[in-house]
Amino acid sequence: MVFVGYAGSDAGALDISNSDAVAGQDPTNPVTFAFGSGYAFHRTIVSLDERGRFTYTPTVDYGGNNGRSALLGSNGLYYVVGNANNGNASTFGSNGTNPDVTETTGLNVVKPINSQSVNVTIPAGNSAEVDPLLQFPLGKNGALDKAGKDDNFRGVTEFGGALYFTKGSGSNGMDTVYTVSSLPTVANAAAATISVVPGFPTDSARATGGNFTPFAVFFANANTMYVTDEGTGASVDATQHAGLEKWSKVGGVWQLDYVLTNGLVGKVDTNLVGPDGQYPDVTTVGLRNLTGAVGEDGVVTLWATTSTTSAAGDNGADPNKVVSITDDLAATTITARVARESFRTIVGPTYGTVYRGVAFVQEECDRDDHRRGRDCD
């Protein structure tokens, strides 16, 4: 299993996700102003093997914001997506940032360090942003925005030797599903081409008002893609695509079949009580991270984490859930069977807990398991 963490931080430390990645990186970062220039934490790719052992690959990426998702590519390199910049972009021309927060964001390729300690020296040039100029031709629309914020990517997956990842927030750029047709290396990352997956939206987030907010991607096969949508766009269209989207590829172009929402969007969780008292009621508005498994019977089982809203006013910080649903792989329309599909809660919500990533692990039996009558297939 692979995910992103923060090296050197204690549990409960404040504003880690908005801190610099390298000490003294951005003098305009308000977190630096509040806590000092040494308050910096490497965004670190964490790998967990089948024996429960952790290894760490610190990076200089995502200064001033958070790494979102990471995977180990079939070529042995890490690929990670996330956000960047918490400072004052208008001063970057004179002061600069080091490492450059506009080129340590978006989609990055990273050489594994896989140290058993987080306290290691990061080799120079150990990571590189894929197509670092993406934010400019696809985005600004004349609006003043934080440099790098248009490359606000969420989920990433590999399928068929290509990378697929999403952008679902930020007032500029395109909120859509992107792809890189072949796995880039650190050496050629800047020259690799990022393009929109054919059939997905190509209009600006500002123009659409945020009615498409994709987060994660799961391929059931080469022609069937599931995309989660967190549904936190403009209020009028907040649930237009929110939930679990199913897409099919026809003639090389992807088309939206339907959106699964039963038992999910609009569901309210109450009585969330903890050490500090009563938490406000939490309403599910969509989905974030996603995984799945395809059965031999043509049924796809999907698991996802929920996105929420509440009177607490901090989207993403509410107690949320891990949910599951099944789908008929062959269906491309809302059949009677599809209409009966509904999300069920696997775990949560729990006061003080948010669920981020989700992974499916197939456990296999050995002879001792079978001898003991243990069902682990």
In a domain, 223, yes or no: no
Least confident of 43-47, 110-114, 171-175: 171-175
In a domain, 259, yes or no: no
Token pair, residue 88, equals 């004052």
In a domain, 290, yes or no: no
Instruction: List pLDDT tens digits, range 4-47.
Output: 999 986 777 888 989 999 999 998 899 999 999 999 999 999 99
What is the H or E stretch that residue 27 is in?
A: none
Q: How many domains does the chain have?
A: 1
- Does residue 62 contact residue 37 with C-beta atoms inside 8 Å? no
pLDDT score for 13:
83
Candidates 233, 230, 213, 313; CA nearest to 265 is 230
Candidates 159, 265, 278, 286; CA nearest to 213 is 286
Give the Cβ contact number of residue 229 at 10 Å: 30
pLDDT value at 131 more than 90: no
Distances (CA, A) of 364 to 138, 298, 359: 46, 21, 16
- Does residue 245 contact residue 226 with C-beta atoms inside 8 Å? yes
Give the 3-state secondary structure of residue 359: coil
pLDDT value at 145 more than 80: no
Please give the angle made by the CA atoms of 69, 178 and 339, to the nearest 5 degrees. 85
In a domain, 344, yes or no: no
Query: Dihedrals φ, ψ of 336, to 5°?
Result: -60, -40
Give mean pLDDT, residues 283-309. 95
In a domain, 257, yes or no: no
Peptide bond connecting 214 to the previous residue in cis, omega within 30 degrees of 0: no
pLDDT value at 237 more than 70: no
- Between these two residues, 5 and 144, which has the higher pLDDT value? 5
In a domain, 50, yes or no: yes
- Between these two residues, 94 and 106, which has the higher pLDDT value? 106
Full domain range(s) for residue 203: 1-208
Cα 289 to Cα 80: distance, rounded to the nearest angstrom:
14
Give the Cβ contact number of residue 201 at 10 Å: 18
Candidates 289, 306, 295; CA nearest to 346 is 306
pLDDT value at 373 more than 80: no
Cα 87 to Cα 65: distance, rounded to the nearest angstrom:
10
Instruction: List pLDDT tens digits, range 239-285.
Output: 578 999 999 999 999 999 999 999 999 999 999 999 989 999 999 99
Q: For residue 316, name the pLDDT band (cuts at 50, 70, 90).
A: confident
What is the H or E stretch that residue 208 is in?
A: helix 205-208
Distances (CA, A) of 113 to 20, 44, 116, 185: 21, 10, 9, 15
DSSP 32: H
Query: Dihedrals φ, ψ of 31, to 5°?
Result: -70, -40
Cα 245 to Cα 238: distance, rounded to the nearest angstrom:
14
pLDDT score for 223:
97
Residue 105 identity = T
DSSP string, 64-101: TS-EEEEEE-TTS-EEEEE----S-GGGHHHH--SS-T
As a whole-number percent, the residues of the chain with pLDDT over 90 amount to: 63
In a domain, 217, yes or no: no
In a domain, 63, yes or no: yes
Give the Cβ contact number of residue 44 at 10 Å: 25
- State if pTM tops 0.85: yes
